[in-house]
Amino acid sequence: MKIIVCVKQVPDAKDVRLDPKTNTLAREGVQSIMNPYDRHALEEAVRLKEKHGGTVTVLSMGPPQAEEMLREAVSCGADEAVLVSDRAFAGADTWATTYTLAMAIKKIDDFDLILCGKQAIDGDTAQVGPGLAERLDIPFVAYVRKINDCTANTIRAERLMDDGYDLLEIPLPALFTVVKEINEPRIPSLKGKMKAKKIDITKLTAVDIEADPEQLGLKGSTTQVVKVFSPELKGARAMLGGTATEQVAQLYEKMSPLL
Amino acid sequence: MDYFLSEEQQMIVDVARQITDEMIIPQRSELDETEEYPRDILTSIAKADLYGLYIPEEYGGLGGGCFEMALALEQFARGCTGVATAFAASALGAYPILISGSDELKQKYMPLIASGEKLAAFALTEANAGSDASGIQTTAVLDGDEWVLNGTKQWITNAGEAQIYTVIAITDKSKGPRGATMFVVEDTDPGFTYGVKEKKLGIRCSSTRELIFKDCRIPKDRVIGRVGMGFITVMKTLDQSRPGIAILGVGLGQGALDEAVTYAKQRVQFGKPIISFQAVQHILADMAIQVEAGRALVYSAAKHIDAHKNDMSKASSMCKVFATDMAMKVATDAVQVLAGYGYMRDYPVEKMMRDAKILQIYEGTNQIQRNVIGQELNKEYMRS
């Protein structure tokens, strides 16, 4: 089974600050990590490989520094790593990102399954997984909490829902986004780290993936960020006093105009 | 301090640190309470390839030595000496095979131990044979193609959890020290059972039990080395393994220092963090000096042992004594810095103080180590 895992480098959530002047994320001096949900996608891919054989390729669109995260992915069991990196990609929204990733995947060509985290913890859109599946015209399942069994042509998975789960059988190739319940990601192994140090990371530019420049980066993005600001906290606070019965009465009185 | 580790050695530290921070530290308090064997942590250590650190590549290991093993153990002990002991015990059990075993025995057992698929344990101590190893009463008698073992081993780390046991037994009482032989006993061998799990002061998640041999029959080819060379194998094993205990002291000491400094910066008395008081600063400074001195000695001893297989007793004993006495003192001082809070189980330093005590006792008491050092000095100065 040939699996591609899409991974994104994000600022460590423990360390996020806003620049007070520009209201944008202060990236200076903030540690970058692999998006935690992508870590679960990678772990699942490696487990599938260990069970059924095959290869795991990690793919990321990002700046040259993302190479470090890709090496970490190799230390956790990925076989190949591809970094799609070009100044032309800067400022991409999810629309332009899915276009770029789709073009890169068409270049890689051979795959049975694509796994992504359900969303990235910086943008939080959860759009890249489904968008990418649409671009590649393959079946898509979100919120996968378990992969049961697979054959050469189909795969069975459980999709986490609010009130339980759906059991689905999907023809391959397909794209899943996974939730953190799916597994416990492993700690890199020593042999993995040694391999990661040596591995050649495939680097692809806009030209390499034969992308249309009009559809890349800020130019190709349908989302334009006009302003970023922290919402002001409004709303008055009132403390109710008296016995419990009196408090309920007061609460009802305050709320009844709203009902 | 920078010890100029190679890139590969730094990777060992990084992997072990991640396991310690993400798995061992979050679980140590519960493991101490429940006294449960840390199976899932040990599985993660195995998956991270760390069980094979000291084992040659031809037997499935990574080809490192005492020093590489120490780098991993130091991190684990910073988190929990109980977990670190459970991990280290497999190496102690493997060393006799590695040191004296035939190539067949090594081929059979070492790859399983290197991958962590099977755990090993070392069985020397008995009720009447502790510091005086010559008091061993377990016997092995050759009967056709099998050895028949009878007797009871006491306080065996990893007992009941390991699958491969290296056991010393008397094969010819009349020959004195040359009448003992080491064997490999497997957990499935007939006539081999375990005693109850001991209740200990510290390192509670590690398993400590008796091994009971009642007409336990094992194939003839399970002899480690030659018949009669059991004591030599034991002594070489302990020389090789003791820096592993020493480094547990360094890791534990570092963990205690980390807790004490962190607490002293937060705890406010008389309107100031207590780290601003010289009385506290001096305790912390002494702790830091001791930990670093211990680390420097253990690292040097481990490197010496890796390079000089025929001259390791003194270096091995010196680092064990210094680093484990240091750990006891530093852990006690950490409790003093945290004072009332430190005495409570809500903070990890009381556990560190309980755990530290065993380091001065097992794999040869620190008094026995001083005997070894004294005897080595005597020999050295006779030569000159």
List, for residues B169-204, the tens digit of each pLDDT value: 999 999 988 999 999 999 999 999 999 999 999 999
Q: What is the model's pLDDT at position A23?
A: 66
Domain around A221:
2-226
Q: Residues B103, B154: one domain?
A: no
φ/ψ of A236, rounded to 5, equals: -85, 155
CATH code of residue B256: 1.20.140.10
Confidence at residue B366, expressed as pLDDT on a 0 to 100 scale: 97
Residue in the structure block whose two tokens are 């400074």: B285
pLDDT higher than 80, residue A209: yes
Residue B384 has pLDDT above 70, yes or no: no
The mean of the pLDDT values for chain B is: 96
- Report the pLDDT averaged over residues A4-32: 80
**Which of A93 and B349 is assigned the larger pLDDT?**
B349
Q: Which amino acid is at A84?
A: V
**Boundary residue ending a domain (B228, B253, B286):** B228
CB-neighbour burial class of residue A95 (10 A; exposed 0-12, middle 13-18, buried 19+): middle
According to the model, what pLDDT value does residue A203 have? 96
B255 shares a domain with B277 = yes
Q: State the smallest CA–CA distance between residue A193 and chain B in angstroms.
A: 7
Burial of B134 (0-12, 13-18, 19+ CB in 10 A): exposed
pLDDT for residue A22: 67
| Residues B235, B379 share a domain | yes
The answer to the question of residue B190 being in a domain is yes
Q: Is B2 within a domain?
A: no
Asked if A190 reaches chain B (Cβ–Cβ under 8 Å), the answer is: yes
Residue A178 makes CB contacts below 8 A (sequence gap 6+) with: A37, A40, A41, A44, A115, A116, A117, A118, A143, A144, A145
ipTM given for this complex: 0.83
Report the number of secondary-structure helices (H) and strands (E) in chain B.
Answer: 11, 10
The answer to whether residue A164 is domain-embedded is yes
- Amino acid identity at B165: Y
B343-366: per-residue pLDDT in tens? Answer: 999 999 999 999 999 999 999 999
Phi, psi (rounded to 5 degrees) for A124: 60, 25
Q: Are residues B355 and B276 in the same domain?
A: yes
**pLDDT given for residue B218 in this prediction:** 98
Of A100-109, A111-120, A217-226, B99-108, give the lowest mean pLDDT range.
A217-226
Biggest CA pair distance of chain B = 79
- What CATH number does residue B202 fall under? 2.40.110.10
Residues B244 and B372 in one domain: yes
The answer as to whether B305 is a domain residue is yes
Q: Say yes or no to pLDDT of B22 above 90.
A: yes
Report yes or no on A78 lying in a domain: yes
Same domain, B246 and B369: yes
Residue of A14, A39, A75, A193 to mutate when probing chain B, most B C-beta within 10 A: A193
Cis bond upstream, residue A185 (ω within 30):
no
Give the count of domains, chain B: 3
- B238 and B203 inside one domain: no
Is residue B160 located within the same domain as residue B302? no
| A157 within a domain of the structure (yes/no) | yes
The tens digit of pLDDT for each residue in B68-83 reads 999 999 999 999 999 9
Q: How far is A133 from chain B (nearest CA, A)?
A: 33
Clarify whether residues B273 and B337 are in a common domain.
yes
Tell me: the pLDDT tens digits for B85-135? Answer: 999 999 999 999 999 999 999 999 999 999 999 999 999 999 999 888 889
For B128, phi then psi, to 5°, come to: -110, 15
Q: Which of B30, B117, B363, B380 is catalytic?
A: B363
pLDDT band at A54 (very low <50, low <70, confident <90, very high): very high
- Phi and psi angles of residue B263, each rounded to the nearest 5 degrees, phi first: -65, -45
Looking at the fold, whether B235 and B378 belong to one and the same domain comes out as yes
Maximum mean pLDDT: which of A188-197, B271-280, B308-317: B271-280
Kindly state whether residue B338 falls inside one of the protein's structural domains: yes
**Domains in chain A, number:** 1
Active site residue B33: no
pLDDT tens sequence across B312-330: 999 999 999 999 999 999 9
Model pLDDT for residues A168-191, shown as the tens digit of each residue: 999 999 999 999 999 999 999 999
Q: Of all residues in chain B, what percent carry a pLDDT higher than 90?
A: 96
| Shared domain check, B244 and B206 | no
Q: Which residues of B touch A (CB under 8 A)?
A: 7-8, 11-12, 14-15, 18-19, 22-23, 44, 47-50, 53, 62
Instruction: Name which of B7, B19, B62 is nearest A187 (Cβ-Cβ).
Output: B19
Query: What contacts A169, CB < 8 A, 6 or more positions away?
Result: A154, A155, A156
Which chain B residue shows the shortest CA-CA distance from A184?
A: B44
Model pLDDT, residue A21: 73
Rounded CA gap, B164 and B188, in Å? 9
Task: Tell me the percentage of chain B whose pLDDT exceeds 70.
Answer: 99
Note down the domain range covering B318. Answer: 231-383
pLDDT at B309 over 90: no
* pLDDT over 80 (residue B289): yes
* Integer Cα distance of B300 and B298 in angstroms: 5
Question: Is residue B250 pLDDT above 70, yes or no?
Answer: yes
Integer angstrom CA distances of residue A169 from A42, A154, B235: 21, 7, 62
Residue A27 has pLDDT above 70, yes or no: no
- Flag whether pLDDT at A37 surpasses 70: yes
8 Å CB contact between B168 and B123 = yes
Q: Is A195 on the interface with B (CB under 8 A)?
A: no
How far apart are the C-alpha atoms of B105 and B182, rounded to whole Å?
A: 12
Q: What is the pLDDT of residue A180?
A: 95
In a domain, B18, yes or no: yes
Domain-ending residue, one of B69, B85, B114 = B114
Indicate whether A236 belongs to any domain.
Answer: no
Evaluate if residue A26 carries a pLDDT over 80: no
Residue A235 located in a structural domain: no
For the whole model, what pTM was predicted? 0.87
Q: Give percent above pLDDT 90 in chain A.
A: 72
CA B159 to chain centroid, in Å, comes to: 14
Split at pLDDT 50, 70, 90, the class of A152 is: confident
* pLDDT score at B166: 98
Terminal-residue alpha carbon distance, chain A: 56
| Beta-strand pair A2-6/B272-273 | unpaired
Q: Do B219 and B267 belong to one domain?
A: no
For residue A161, give the CATH number of its domain: 3.40.50.620
Nearest CA in chain B to A189: B48
The answer to whether residue B383 scores a pLDDT higher than 80 is no
CB A57 within 8 A of CB A3: yes
Give the pLDDT confidence score for residue A109 in this predicted structure.
81
pLDDT of residue B134: 82
Please give the pLDDT value at position A223: 87
